[in-house]
Protein backbone atom coordinates (compact mmCIF):
# COMPACT_ATOMS: atom_id res chain seq x y z
CA UNK A 1 0.00 0.00 0.00
CA UNK A 2 1.34 3.41 -0.89
CA UNK A 3 0.14 6.34 1.19
CA UNK A 4 1.59 9.32 -0.67
CA UNK A 5 1.17 11.48 2.43
CA UNK A 6 3.96 9.42 4.03
CA UNK A 7 6.39 10.82 1.45
CA UNK A 8 6.00 14.27 3.00
CA UNK A 9 7.79 12.95 6.09
CA UNK A 10 11.04 12.88 4.11
CA UNK A 11 12.89 16.15 4.82
CA UNK A 12 14.27 18.46 2.16
CA UNK A 13 15.58 21.98 1.86
CA UNK A 14 14.82 24.34 -1.02
CA UNK A 15 17.51 25.66 -3.31
CA UNK A 16 18.16 27.51 -6.54
CA UNK A 17 20.27 25.26 -8.73
CA UNK A 18 21.95 27.34 -11.39
CA UNK A 19 24.27 26.84 -14.35
CA UNK A 20 25.54 28.52 -17.50
CA UNK A 21 28.10 31.28 -17.93
CA UNK A 22 28.40 35.07 -18.04
CA UNK A 23 26.51 35.24 -21.32
CA UNK A 24 23.56 33.03 -20.57
CA UNK A 25 22.42 30.93 -17.68
CA UNK A 26 19.39 29.60 -15.92
CA UNK A 27 18.31 28.34 -12.54
CA UNK A 28 15.42 26.43 -11.01
CA UNK A 29 14.04 25.66 -7.58
CA UNK A 30 15.09 22.20 -6.39
CA UNK A 31 14.43 20.32 -3.19
CA UNK A 32 16.69 17.39 -4.02
CA UNK A 33 20.22 18.52 -3.30
CA UNK A 34 22.29 16.43 -0.92
CA UNK A 35 25.82 15.44 -0.08
CA UNK A 36 26.61 11.92 -1.26
CA UNK A 37 30.25 11.41 -0.22
CA UNK A 38 32.58 13.14 2.23
CA UNK A 39 36.02 12.45 0.76
CA UNK A 40 35.92 14.13 -1.62
CA UNK A 41 32.82 16.13 -0.75
CA UNK A 42 30.36 15.52 -3.58
CA UNK A 43 26.78 16.63 -4.03
CA UNK A 44 23.87 15.33 -6.08
CA UNK A 45 21.11 17.41 -7.62
CA UNK A 46 18.14 16.02 -9.57
CA UNK A 47 16.77 17.84 -12.57
CA UNK A 48 13.89 17.00 -14.91
CA UNK A 49 15.10 16.33 -18.47
CA UNK A 50 12.67 18.97 -19.77
CA UNK A 51 14.12 21.51 -17.38
CA UNK A 52 15.96 24.29 -19.20
CA UNK A 53 18.81 24.20 -16.64
CA UNK A 54 19.71 20.57 -17.50
CA UNK A 55 21.33 21.60 -20.78
CA UNK A 56 23.35 24.35 -19.10
CA UNK A 57 24.72 21.91 -16.52
CA UNK A 58 25.74 19.45 -19.22
CA UNK A 59 27.40 22.19 -21.29
CA UNK A 60 29.14 24.02 -18.42
CA UNK A 61 29.89 20.78 -16.56
CA UNK A 62 29.27 22.63 -13.29
CA UNK A 63 26.42 23.93 -11.17
CA UNK A 64 25.81 26.16 -8.18
CA UNK A 65 23.30 25.65 -5.38
CA UNK A 66 21.96 28.66 -3.44
CA UNK A 67 20.35 27.81 -0.10
CA UNK A 68 17.15 29.85 0.27
CA UNK A 69 16.37 31.52 3.59
CA UNK A 70 13.33 30.49 5.60
CA UNK A 71 11.37 33.63 4.79
CA UNK A 72 12.16 33.58 1.06
CA UNK A 73 9.51 35.45 -0.92
CA UNK A 74 6.77 34.02 -3.13
CA UNK A 75 8.31 36.07 -5.95
CA UNK A 76 11.55 34.09 -5.87
CA UNK A 77 9.65 30.79 -5.89
CA UNK A 78 7.43 32.08 -8.68
CA UNK A 79 10.41 33.25 -10.76
CA UNK A 80 12.65 30.20 -10.35
CA UNK A 81 10.15 27.47 -9.51
CA UNK A 82 7.08 27.85 -11.66
CA UNK A 83 8.28 29.64 -14.78
CA UNK A 84 10.59 28.42 -17.52
CA UNK A 85 13.84 30.11 -18.51
CA UNK A 86 12.84 29.27 -22.11
CA UNK A 87 10.35 32.16 -21.85
CA UNK A 88 12.49 34.87 -20.21
CA UNK A 89 15.93 35.46 -18.69
CA UNK A 90 15.46 34.45 -15.05
CA UNK A 91 18.86 35.85 -14.08
CA UNK A 92 18.26 39.35 -15.50
CA UNK A 93 18.25 41.91 -12.72
CA UNK A 94 19.21 39.38 -10.07
CA UNK A 95 22.22 39.66 -7.73
CA UNK A 96 24.63 37.20 -9.37
CA UNK A 97 28.20 36.17 -8.58
CA UNK A 98 30.21 34.01 -10.96
CA UNK A 99 31.94 31.07 -9.31
CA UNK A 100 35.35 29.44 -9.82
CA UNK A 101 33.86 27.28 -12.59
CA UNK A 102 32.24 30.30 -14.22
CA UNK A 103 28.66 29.33 -13.38
CA UNK A 104 26.29 32.00 -12.06
CA UNK A 105 25.39 31.87 -8.37
CA UNK A 106 22.11 33.53 -7.30
CA UNK A 107 22.70 35.53 -4.10
CA UNK A 108 19.17 36.93 -3.62
CA UNK A 109 17.37 35.62 -0.53
CA UNK A 110 20.10 33.02 0.01
CA UNK A 111 22.03 32.26 3.20
CA UNK A 112 24.79 30.12 1.66
CA UNK A 113 25.86 28.60 -1.61
CA UNK A 114 27.94 25.74 -2.89
CA UNK A 115 29.50 25.26 -6.29
CA UNK A 116 30.29 21.88 -7.84
CA UNK A 117 32.20 20.65 -10.87
CA UNK A 118 30.22 17.93 -12.67
CA UNK A 119 31.51 14.44 -12.09
CA UNK A 120 28.80 12.00 -13.18
CA UNK A 121 25.37 12.26 -14.79
CA UNK A 122 22.92 9.48 -14.00
CA UNK A 123 19.87 8.83 -16.17
CA UNK A 124 16.79 8.25 -14.02
CA UNK A 125 14.18 8.17 -16.80
CA UNK A 126 12.23 11.40 -16.36
CA UNK A 127 15.10 13.06 -14.43
CA UNK A 128 18.86 13.37 -14.56
CA UNK A 129 20.92 13.20 -11.40
CA UNK A 130 24.00 15.40 -11.56
CA UNK A 131 26.81 14.52 -9.17
CA UNK A 132 29.50 17.11 -8.72
CA UNK A 133 32.61 17.63 -6.63
CA UNK A 134 32.55 20.58 -4.26
CA UNK A 135 34.88 23.41 -5.31
CA UNK A 136 33.40 26.32 -3.38
CA UNK A 137 31.17 26.78 -0.33
CA UNK A 138 30.34 30.03 1.40
CA UNK A 139 28.00 31.34 4.03
CA UNK A 140 26.20 34.54 2.99
CA UNK A 141 24.04 35.14 6.07
CA UNK A 142 24.65 33.17 9.24
CA UNK A 143 21.77 34.79 11.14
CA UNK A 144 19.02 33.04 9.19
CA UNK A 145 17.85 29.45 8.98
CA UNK A 146 17.46 27.61 5.68
CA UNK A 147 13.92 27.06 4.45
CA UNK A 148 12.70 23.48 4.56
CA UNK A 149 10.23 21.89 2.20
CA UNK A 150 7.99 21.11 5.19
CA UNK A 151 7.89 24.78 6.18
CA UNK A 152 7.23 25.78 2.58
CA UNK A 153 4.30 23.37 2.37
CA UNK A 154 2.83 24.06 5.79
CA UNK A 155 3.35 27.79 6.11
CA UNK A 156 3.43 28.89 2.50
CA UNK A 157 0.79 26.30 1.53
CA UNK A 158 2.64 25.64 -1.68
CA UNK A 159 2.90 22.47 -3.74
CA UNK A 160 5.65 21.01 -5.93
CA UNK A 161 5.64 21.98 -9.61
CA UNK A 162 4.94 19.25 -12.16
CA UNK A 163 8.63 18.64 -12.99
CA UNK A 164 9.74 18.14 -9.37
CA UNK A 165 10.77 14.65 -8.23
CA UNK A 166 8.32 15.02 -5.35
CA UNK A 167 5.32 16.13 -7.45
CA UNK A 168 2.11 14.29 -6.61
CA UNK A 169 -0.68 14.26 -9.15
CA UNK A 170 -3.60 15.06 -6.86
CA UNK A 171 -6.20 14.32 -9.50
CA UNK A 172 -4.95 10.73 -9.44
CA UNK A 173 -4.42 10.30 -5.74
CA UNK A 174 -7.63 11.82 -4.41
CA UNK A 175 -11.28 10.99 -4.82
CA UNK A 176 -13.06 13.85 -6.55
CA UNK A 177 -16.32 14.96 -5.00
CA UNK A 178 -19.16 16.21 -7.21
CA UNK A 179 -19.08 20.01 -7.04
CA UNK A 180 -20.44 22.78 -9.21
CA UNK A 181 -17.80 25.25 -8.12
CA UNK A 182 -14.14 24.46 -7.69
CA UNK A 183 -11.12 26.04 -6.13
CA UNK A 184 -7.79 26.50 -7.84
CA UNK A 185 -4.53 26.92 -5.99
CA UNK A 186 -1.44 28.84 -7.05
CA UNK A 187 1.46 26.36 -6.81
CA UNK A 188 3.93 29.19 -6.13
CA UNK A 189 2.32 31.12 -3.29
CA UNK A 190 -0.75 29.15 -2.25
CA UNK A 191 -3.29 31.79 -3.36
CA UNK A 192 -6.73 30.20 -3.72
CA UNK A 193 -9.02 31.17 -6.58
CA UNK A 194 -12.51 30.30 -5.36
CA UNK A 195 -15.08 30.10 -8.16
CA UNK A 196 -18.03 30.27 -5.77
CA UNK A 197 -16.75 33.55 -4.31
CA UNK A 198 -15.62 35.08 -7.60
CA UNK A 199 -18.69 33.91 -9.57
CA UNK A 200 -16.44 33.33 -12.57
CA UNK A 201 -15.41 29.83 -13.56
CA UNK A 202 -11.63 29.50 -13.58
CA UNK A 203 -11.66 28.23 -17.16
CA UNK A 204 -13.48 31.40 -18.24
CA UNK A 205 -10.66 33.66 -16.99
CA UNK A 206 -8.54 35.11 -19.83
CA UNK A 207 -5.46 33.10 -20.78
CA UNK A 208 -3.15 35.95 -19.71
CA UNK A 209 -4.72 36.06 -16.24
CA UNK A 210 -2.06 35.72 -13.55
CA UNK A 211 -2.06 35.04 -9.83
CA UNK A 212 -2.92 38.35 -8.13
CA UNK A 213 -0.57 37.50 -5.29
CA UNK A 214 2.62 36.48 -7.11
CA UNK A 215 2.15 36.69 -10.87
CA UNK A 216 2.27 32.95 -11.52
CA UNK A 217 0.52 31.99 -14.81
CA UNK A 218 -3.03 30.64 -15.06
CA UNK A 219 -1.94 27.30 -16.52
CA UNK A 220 0.17 26.56 -13.47
CA UNK A 221 -2.83 26.65 -11.12
CA UNK A 222 -3.95 23.34 -9.71
CA UNK A 223 -7.60 22.37 -9.18
CA UNK A 224 -8.16 21.43 -5.56
CA UNK A 225 -10.92 19.52 -3.85
CA UNK A 226 -11.66 20.51 -0.31
Least distance to a second copy, CB of residue 136, Å: 6
Whether residue 196 contacts residue 181, with contact meaning beta carbons closer than 8 Å, is answered with yes
Q: Which of 61, 75, 97, 146 binds a second copy (CB under 8 A)?
A: 146
User: How many whole angstroms separate alpha carbon 205 and alpha carbon 217?
Assistant: 12
Interface stretch with a second copy, choices 76-84, 132-140, 196-204, 212-220 (CB under 8 A): 132-140
- Give the residue with the Cβ less far from a second copy, 5 or 87: 5
- Name residues contacting a second copy, limited to 58-87 (CB under 8 A): 65, 67
Binding mask 15-34 for a second copy (x = CB under 8 A): -----------------xxx
Distance separating the N- and C-terminal Cα atoms of the chain = 24
Q: Is the dihedral of CA 206, 72, 37, 19 positive or negative?
A: positive
Least distance to a second copy, CB of residue 53, Å: 16
- Name residues contacting a second copy, limited to 162-181 (CB under 8 A): 164-168
Q: What is the DSSP string of 159-217?
A: ---TTSTT---HHHHSPPP--SS-EEE-TTT--EEEHHHH-S-GGGS-TT-B-TTT--B
Q: Is 135 near a second copy (CB under 8 A)?
A: yes
User: How many whole angstroms separate alpha carbon 107 and alpha carbon 67?
Assistant: 9
Whether residue 105 contacts residue 66, with contact meaning beta carbons closer than 8 Å, is answered with yes
Least distance to a second copy, CB of residue 138, Å: 6
Whether residue 19 contacts residue 56, with contact meaning beta carbons closer than 8 Å, is answered with yes
- Give the residue with the Cβ less far from a second copy, 3 or 226: 3
| Contact residues: a second copy, CB under 8 A | 1-7, 9-13, 32-39, 41-44, 46, 65, 67, 111-114, 120, 122, 124-127, 129, 131, 134-139, 145-146, 148-150, 164-168
Amino acid sequence: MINFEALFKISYGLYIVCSGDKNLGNGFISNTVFQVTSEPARFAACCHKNNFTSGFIMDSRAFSVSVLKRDASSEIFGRFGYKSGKDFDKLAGMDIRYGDTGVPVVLNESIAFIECRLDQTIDLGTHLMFIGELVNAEILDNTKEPITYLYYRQVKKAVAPKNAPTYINRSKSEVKPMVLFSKYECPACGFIYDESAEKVKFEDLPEDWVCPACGCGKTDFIKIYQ
